[in-house]
């Protein structure tokens, strides 16, 4: 029996098994492409596994974020049809954080890592053992995660992240967790998120393994040889299929079908044609066949690190309080719906007939659910309005500075005694750009006023930090942050004074500094 595996002969106080940087596997065996933001957990046999944080821009325990997964297409609509769903993170950082996150393994589980969890003796680290572990059943994948959880709790409990005092745990990902991460999460824009692939500036060959002599050539490849997706995750598409936590269900337009079947595998593998490799790709595998548990040479696994939901009495009380407010209206703009829900509640509480009481309570719940859906759709529209306002602010800065440049040149060359021969052309260009800026300013003002009129300050104010968090997490949008703040300042000024001041709003956008 190896003391390295079970940590029986060395006291924990020595920190031998607790320090992920202690002598053990060389980094090239478990993290061949290190990046800032990597989260490293120790493993048995002095090993390690690397994770990446996947952020969701909501912070409350009952908050979640609406997304669309799947892909529209007549051929495989019953499997991959686009449908709306929601996602939320497990862990919070500082109290001021506006987002939560879960952690996903940076690489597919390697043969080395699987052996460290399951073999009686510790494996010898070697490059060839960086191949993804395949030919394991879904049950064996669950057992490997279980062994890792138990080992961590015994030997490295301090390394596990906690939420509300409760330790996190490892499992296979849900389909929503996997697809949100595979598409790039908050690191990509809305249009890129809905694309069939995450952004691949250097072409798919540089990022994923698929069938053909120009890629995998029919062979499984070492983990981490290709470039990562925008979240820093490697081999999310191709190389080996990845098992999901939940059973397979067919799609029924905007929802999943009621029958649960075998388990889901996602992402495609090294035998998948390039044309078929996309983020919505999913298929069913049976748990068992005539020989026993199903094991495929093209299927592996990747773990996620998450937390329990009901972590403490205080958290339960917070969730209960939030749940009671769902769909009841939490501000003046929703007071009518709130009154209707309360009236139904009061009516049901005063009814003696049990059957009638149940019908009234069911009607109340249906109304709350409908209200909640409308509120979530409205919040998405508010975020889109804020995003548009910030973008228009950038355009007013650019166009405003260009007009100033043209005005300065015109004054320099055309208002003195020696007029330039191009003055007529310069004047025409200046007037043209002034007119363009004027129309842009009017469009910005109309958009701002319409948004303020439709939603009001309380509703707008709650979505500003959410939109700011989305922008902050997306490297391509981070420059938009000061424009969002400027736009919100303009919107608040209108809400408070009810004065349309296009010139002041233009000037505020023109003076934005990064």
Burial of 43 (0-12, 13-18, 19+ CB in 10 A): buried
Nearest of 172, 149, 52, 140 to residue 101 by alpha carbon: 52
Alpha-carbon distance of 208 to 346, in angstroms, equals 58
Query: Beta partners for 104?
Result: 52, 304
Contact 30, 47 (CB under 8 A): yes
Residue with the two structure tokens 């694309």: 195
Question: In terms of domains, do 325 and 301 share one?
Answer: no
Q: Which of these three, 281, 306, 331, is where a domain ends?
A: 306
Contact 95, 54 (CB under 8 A): no
Residue with the two structure tokens 């919100």: 488
401-422 pLDDT tens trace: 999 999 998 888 888 777 778 8
Contact 169, 305 (CB under 8 A): yes
* Residue 154, number of CB atoms within 10 A of its CB: 12
* pLDDT value, residue 337: 52
Helix (H, G, I), strand (E, B) or coil at 456: helix
* pLDDT value, residue 420: 74
Q: Can you read off the two tokens belonging to residue 63?
A: 């908050």
Q: What is the CA radius of gyration of the chain?
A: 28
List, in sequence order, every beta strand (DSSP E) within 374-499: none
Q: Which phi and psi angles does 21 have, rounded to 5°?
A: -95, 0
Question: In terms of domains, do 298 and 417 share one?
Answer: no
* pLDDT value, residue 371: 83
Task: Give the rounded distance of the alpha carbon of 130 from its chain centre.
Answer: 28
What is the mean pLDDT, run by run of 10 residues, along the chain of 514 residues?
Answer: 40 34 79 97 97 94 92 85 94 86 98 97 96 98 98 96 95 98 95 94 96 96 97 97 97 90 97 96 96 97 96 88 78 53 65 74 78 89 95 95 92 79 89 95 95 94 94 89 96 94 94 82
Helix (H, G, I), strand (E, B) or coil at 258: coil
- Number of helices followed by number of strands (H, E) in the chain: 13, 17
Q: Can you read off the two tokens belonging to residue 109?
A: 């589980």
* pLDDT value, residue 61: 84
Q: Which of these three, 283, 306, 329, is where a domain ends?
A: 306
Helix (H, G, I), strand (E, B) or coil at 330: coil
Burial of 234 (0-12, 13-18, 19+ CB in 10 A): buried
Contact 457, 334 (CB under 8 A): no
Alpha-carbon distance of 424 to 220, in angstroms, equals 68
Our count of domains for the chain comes to: 3
Q: Which of these three, 289, 306, 323, is where a domain ends?
A: 306
Mean pLDDT over each residue of the chain, to the nearest integer: 89
Question: In terms of domains, do 265 and 140 share one?
Answer: yes
Query: Beta partners for 166?
Result: 163
Give, as one character, the DSSP assignment of residue 57. Answer: S
Question: In terms of domains, do 335 and 448 share one?
Answer: no
Query: Beta partners for 102?
Result: 54
Within 55-137, where are the H helices?
77-80, 111-118
Q: Can you read off the two tokens belonging to residue 489?
A: 């300042």
Question: In terms of domains, do 214 and 275 share one?
Answer: yes
Nearest of 237, 51, 42, 224 to residue 148 by alpha carbon: 42
* pLDDT value, residue 356: 75
Question: In terms of domains, do 17 and 114 share one?
Answer: yes
Residue with the two structure tokens 């303020």: 452
Question: In terms of domains, do 448 and 333 share one?
Answer: no
Q: Which phi and psi angles does 326 have, rounded to 5°?
A: -60, 130
Pairing relationship of beta strands 304-306 and 292-293 according to DSSP bridges: unpaired
Helix 138-155 / helix 111-118 crossing angle, nearest 10 deg: 70
Q: Which phi and psi angles does 483 have, rounded to 5°?
A: -70, -35
Question: In terms of domains, do 284 and 365 share one?
Answer: no
Pairing relationship of beta strands 241-247 and 263-266 according to DSSP bridges: antiparallel
Handedness of CA 226, 230, 233, 235 (dihedral sign): negative
User: Could you list the residue range(s) of the whole structural domain that residue 328 is in?
Assistant: 313-373
Single pTM value for the model? 0.85
Question: In terms of domains, do 252 and 394 share one?
Answer: no
Question: In terms of domains, do 56 and 79 share one?
Answer: yes
**HSE-CB for 385 with a 13 A CA cutoff:** 25
* pLDDT value, residue 412: 86
Pairing relationship of beta strands 299-300 and 241-247 according to DSSP bridges: parallel
What is the domain-level CATH number for residue 94?
3.90.1580.10
* pLDDT value, residue 343: 65
Helix (H, G, I), strand (E, B) or coil at 277: coil
Question: In terms of domains, do 258 and 328 share one?
Answer: no
282-294 pLDDT tens trace: 999 999 999 999 9
Question: In terms of domains, do 369 and 483 share one?
Answer: no
């Amino acid at each position: 029996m190896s003391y390295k595996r079970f940590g029986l002969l060395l006291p924990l106080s020595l920190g031998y098994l607790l320090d992920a940087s202690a002598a053990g596997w060389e980094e090239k065996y478990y993290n061949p492409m290190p990046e800032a933001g990597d989260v490293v957990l120790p493993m048995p046999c002095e090993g390690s596994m690397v994770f990446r944080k996947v952020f969701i821009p909501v912070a409350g325990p009952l908050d979640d974020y609406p997304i669309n997964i799947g892909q529209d297409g007549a051929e495989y609509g019953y499997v991959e049809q686009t449908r709306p769903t929601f996602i939320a993170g497990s862990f919070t950082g500082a109290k001021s954080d506006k987002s939560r996150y879960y952690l996903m393994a940076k690489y597919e589980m390697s043969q080395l890592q699987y052996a460290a969890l399951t073999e009686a003796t510790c494996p010898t680290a070697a490059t060839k053992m960086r191949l993804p572990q395949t030919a394991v059943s879904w049950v064996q994948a669950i057992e490997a995660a279980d062994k890792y959880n138990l080992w961590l709790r015994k030997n490295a409990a301090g390394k596990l992240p906690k939420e509300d005092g409760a330790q996190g745990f490892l499992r296979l990902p849900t389909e929503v967790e996997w697809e949100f991460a595979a598409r790039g999460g908050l690191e990509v824009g809305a249009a890129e998120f809905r694309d069939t692939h995450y952004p691949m500036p250097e072409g798919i060959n540089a990022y994923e393994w698929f069938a053909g002599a120009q890629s995998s050539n029919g062979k499984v490849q070492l983990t981490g040889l290709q470039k990562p997706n925008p979240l820093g995750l490697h081999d999310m598409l191709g190389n080996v299929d990845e098992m999901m936590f939940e059973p397979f269900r067919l799609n029924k337009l905007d929802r999943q079908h009621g029958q649960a079947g075998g388990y889901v595998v996602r992402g495609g593998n090294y035998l998948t044609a390039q044309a078929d490799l996309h983020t919505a790709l999913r298929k069913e595998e049976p748990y068992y066949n005539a020989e026993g548990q199903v094991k495929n040479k093209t299927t592996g696994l990747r773990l996620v690190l998450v937390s329990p939901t009901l972590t403490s009495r205080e958290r339960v009380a917070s969730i209960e309080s939030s749940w009671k407010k769902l769909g009841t209206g939490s501000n003046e703009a929703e007071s009518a719906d709130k009154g209707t829900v309360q009236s139904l509640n009061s009516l049901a509480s005063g009814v003696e007939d049990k059957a009638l009481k149940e019908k009234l309570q069911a009607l109340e719940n249906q109304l709350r659910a409908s209200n909640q859906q409308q509120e979530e759709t409205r919040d998405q529209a508010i975020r889109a309005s804020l995003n548009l306002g910030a973008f228009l602010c950038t355009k007013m800065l650019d166009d405003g500075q260009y007009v100033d440049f043209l005005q300065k040149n015109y004054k320099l060359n055309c208002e003195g005694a020696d007029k330039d021969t191009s003055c007529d052309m310069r004047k025409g260009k200046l007037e043209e750009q002034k007119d363009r800026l004027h129309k842009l300013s009017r469009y910005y003002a109309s958009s701002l006023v319409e948004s303020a009129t439709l939603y009001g300050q309380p509703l707008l104010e709650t979505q500003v930090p959410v939109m700011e968090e989305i922008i902050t997490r997306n490297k391509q949008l981070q420059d938009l942050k000061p424009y969002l703040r400027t736009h919100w300042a303009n919107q608040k000024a209108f809400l408070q004074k009810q004065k349309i001041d296009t010139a002041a709003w233009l000037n505020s956008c023109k003076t934005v500094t990064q």
